[in-house]
Amino acid sequence: MFRFDINTAKMIFLFDGAEEVFDFKKSGERKTNDSGIPQFKINAIARTPGDRASQSIAVKVYSRKNPADDISLYAQIKFEGLAALVYEMNGKTGVSFSADSVARAQAAK
């Protein structure tokens, strides 16, 4: 697995919901880190200024509570520590995204 850190300085993300992640390999238990903090899948609309189209991405984040409790639908958000994880499974490659945290973006001054 390769990890690539993503520079988000010029990117725009809109919040499109969050859902808890479950580990179906462990009888459907809620997925947590070693500290017991649950993992959430953040659905986001991503765009870089100058691009012709937006992309829908899912970013996994560990959080003590559901980020949807504090972030309204389609609010602009920011990710800290956003990374792309490139992996191979059963002869196929894929990309997943993870971040250290997600929060509502501060309004521009």
In which band, very low, low, confident or very high, does the pLDDT at 1 lie, cut at 50, 70 and 90? Answer: confident
Is the residue at 92 inside a domain? yes
For the record, the structure tokens of 35 come out as 């500290």
Domain-embedded: residue 67: yes
pLDDT at 109 over 70: no
Q: Which amino acid is at 71?
A: I
Does 109 map to a domain?
no
Q: Which structural domain range is residue 63 located in?
A: 2-104
Rounded to an integer, what is the distance from CA 57 to the centroid of its chain? 7
Cβ neighbourhood burial of 51 (10 Å; 0-12, 13-18, 19+): exposed
Q: What percent of the chain has pLDDT over 90?
A: 84
Is there a domain that residue 82 lies in? yes
The answer to whether residue 62 sits within a structural domain is: yes
pLDDT value, residue 108: 61
Residue 71: how many other CB atoms lie within 10 Å: 19
Confidence band for 5, pLDDT divided at 50, 70 and 90: very high
Q: Does the pTM of the predicted model rise above 0.95?
A: no
Residues in a beta bridge with 80: 101
pLDDT at 10 over 80: yes
Residue matched to tokens 């765009």: 47
Mean pLDDT rounded to a whole number for the chain: 94
Q: Which DSSP symbol is given to 57?
A: E
Query: How many domains, the chain?
Result: 1
Please report the pLDDT score of residue 26 as a whole number: 74
Question: Does residue 58 form part of some domain?
Answer: yes
In a domain, 77, yes or no: yes
Q: Give tens-digit pLDDT for 20-72.
A: 999 887 778 899 999 999 999 999 999 998 899 999 999 999 999 999 999 99
Q: What is the CATH number of the domain that holds 78?
A: 2.40.50
Looking at residue 66, what is its pLDDT? Answer: 97
Structural domain contains residue 48? yes
